[in-house]
Structure 1
């Protein structure tokens, strides 16, 4: 594996695991003069505030002055501006890998975040997770949780049409027929929020590309592999087959993520291909007693050989010019602790990134953990080791055009190859 500085040429910003909804922010100032006040910035207020509450409860007398910027684009723009101006908070969210302006490798290269190898939890960071959290073998971010992408199912909606979770590709297409015959959608799509367009290709390439060949990204980096000449082409062919089979709701490009989760939660859709954390969103719209399951989206007809894409979800870094560096270290130590890992996993609907004897995973995530133990998960989300955000940005735009029938899968991949080479 290449050193992380050279890996800047083969790394990119994570999109799946940085999957957040647009919203508002509550602005705060930069540093805090009070030694007992930590300034903090992230997204997803609903879940992150619970982590903050846990930290404050474990540290009486300490408070966190937090801001939550739910839109990724706004977050990135604001944090980069404030880091340049010296007004950024003590601790803030970053993405795993590199290539994006708020990705770990980029902020570390720019000298904006503190080294963390001297922290007591640093030795507990697993090697593959450390890879996308460090640069030149120096740790710069705490990978706080792990997520997975798969097919989420409404258990009651499946039972109502006499269906079960598909274990093979053929069964996926059969489920689409069953759903249509019962006036249901098999897999809800919410492509109006462009980040959702990458999820089905990511889910399929886990089994077709990255699971069987963990070295594929390295082969791309040395020029011996491309998107077009790989089974990425099979993944887009199968996505087109799902479109032709009527697997999705009408007008997916005009359907929002929120509407996608409403369809799943209310049982109008049997399933949706999403990140594991999205189950909490579906539950908001579900009837009392509704339950949900998660499974890999099958890409072949080989039972028991389907992979989940998994990767670092949220990472936290310390401002290199933090006003309260000691308190910032204390916050990361809490998040990395068994109690912090357990709490954060529970409230974020994810898996702990660090070992934790105290963790109690939901049945959904237990299934992912079982798959990981069996070697049926990938190490990273694909984009976490792409050379720049241009590859993923182009994919999101082109996938909307693909779902509209404007371009072919071959064109999507040709454009990705061009963006990769130009990065």
Structure 2
């Protein structure tokens, strides 16, 4: 009887409108090294609308520190009311495994739940007909390029892989590189490969991840995955990357863009502000990374940043009011202005984009060629880590495509 009453009370709270809430809530998220200015901006905007709710924020270093703190607090019963998560199940703080563990309050009863996530991304936030997080924004991944350097070098943006490889040779002959890459950084290296795979794998078979979950396909027996890894090797052979790419980290790769030594850098578009922080005079644009054929050209756009509500929050009404503000009260606009990402509305229409992103507007409107990052629906974080580390092996020649594909399958099947 007590359990039934508790469930009824929780259900009522989850569906109740966020009116005249008060009290205190605690939010934790990851820090990029200088706190978390976008989250600070979101909290300030929320408290302006809800002055009776005090939000205390704590930020922990990105990488392994934040996931460890989050899980320790949740498991100890001392978790925050709200916490930063990422989409799907393939990352260290992905929301679906946390929901499976019973830490996350479902948001299905909120009035905005049916429109918060478009159908392309439903499986990243919904499970068993329950919504478990509210997206903060959408993150396109594109080739960010230096417009002035393109003009100086007298080149045009390549629209196919063949043109891309030829442009690499042209740019190299002029003492520059077409594509900066932090080959020694598993995250950036893996991001480039997953962007290539979005073109080659998902465009050819949008259900590939689901088929891998069902055991109907593997990395090793998928020709599109072999083509994706070969594309990286073809780029290296054509001189697309800077010398020493296999050992470069972000602090070595990013300045190549800022100094005008590299034309492009494949990164989340929200990182444009970081590049401009190095060189405010950069005149940047964005374009999709070319595919092997025009028919496969696509763009990854993912609702990666999100917030989840603790199922055992001591002030659930106030925590839900925060989620409501993000989803339908303008919080997403505040957050994305600070991050350089885009809102769900901008992503779905391609309209009202920041000037630097005008070059991906048309790509965003082709719904059959817009996908979440392929790794967001992977079985566990080891698979993407294996991919990123494997790129370094491909670049040094110590790993073959077949060896890396076998390792990816082994990582997928590991517990």
- Flag whether TM exceeds 0.5 (same fold): yes
Mapped partners of 1:374, 1:332: distance in 2: 30
Mapped partners of 1:144, 1:129: distance in 2: 14
Give the alignment of 1:142-153 within 5 angstroms. 142-153=134-145
Equivalent residue for 2:49?
58
Compared CA separation, residues 94 and 397, structure 1 to 2 (3 A) = same
Equivalent residue for 1:42?
29
Displacement of 1:377: 3.4
Which of these two proteins has the greater Rg computed from alpha carbons? 2
Mapped partners of 2:166, 2:208: distance in 1: 31
Mapped partners of 2:311, 2:339: distance in 1: 27
Displacement of 1:369: 4.4
Name the SS of the counterpart of 1:351 in structure 2.
coil
Equivalent residue for 2:299?
308
Equivalent residue for 1:337?
328
Mapped partners of 2:277, 2:251: distance in 1: 10
- Is the Cα contact below 8 Å between 1:311 and 1:378 reproduced in 2? no
Of Structure 1 and Structure 2, which has the larger fraction of its residues in helix?
2
Equivalent residue for 2:386?
394
The answer to whether structure 1 residue 163 and structure 2 residue 155 are counterparts is yes
Name the SS of the counterpart of 1:42 in structure 2.
strand
Equivalent residue for 2:317?
326
Equivalent residue for 2:170?
178
Mapped partners of 1:184, 1:244: distance in 2: 15
Mapped partners of 2:121, 2:207: distance in 1: 16
The answer to whether structure 1 residue 108 and structure 2 residue 99 are counterparts is yes
Alpha-carbon deviations, 1:313-333, whole Å to 9, x = none? Answer: 111101112122111111111
Displacement of 1:350: 1.6
- Is the Cα contact below 8 Å between 2:178 and 2:240 reproduced in 1? yes
Equivalent residue for 2:274?
281
Which one of the candidate residues 272, 297, 317 is aligned to 2:265?
A: 272
Displacement of 1:191: 2.9
- Structure 2: give runs of 5+ residues left out of the alignment: 1-20
Compared CA separation, residues 139 and 257, structure 1 to 2 (3 A) = same
Displacement of 1:224: 2.5
Which one of the candidate residues 205, 220, 230 is aligned to 2:212?
A: 220
Mapped partners of 2:79, 2:183: distance in 1: 33
Mapped partners of 1:42, 1:369: distance in 2: 30
- Structure 1: give runs of 5+ residues left out of the alignment: 1-33
- Is the Cα contact below 8 Å between 2:186 and 2:385 reproduced in 1? no
The answer to whether structure 1 residue 296 and structure 2 residue 288 are counterparts is yes
Equivalent residue for 2:364?
372
Displacement of 1:366: 4.5
Aligned length: 387
Mapped partners of 1:338, 1:176: distance in 2: 46
Mapped partners of 2:358, 2:316: distance in 1: 36
The CA RMSD measured in Å over matched residues stands at 2.2
Mapped partners of 2:373, 2:236: distance in 1: 24
- Is the Cα contact below 8 Å between 1:99 and 1:106 reproduced in 2? no
Question: TM-score w.r.t. structure 1 length?
Answer: 0.85
Alpha-carbon deviations, 1:285-327, whole Å to 9, x = none? Answer: 2242x3211111112243x751112222111101112122111
Which has the larger displacement, 155-164 or 366-375?
366-375
The answer to whether structure 1 residue 381 and structure 2 residue 368 are counterparts is no
Which one of the candidate residues 131, 136, 141 is aligned to 2:128?
A: 136
Mapped partners of 1:40, 1:117: distance in 2: 21
Name the SS of the counterpart of 1:98 in structure 2.
coil
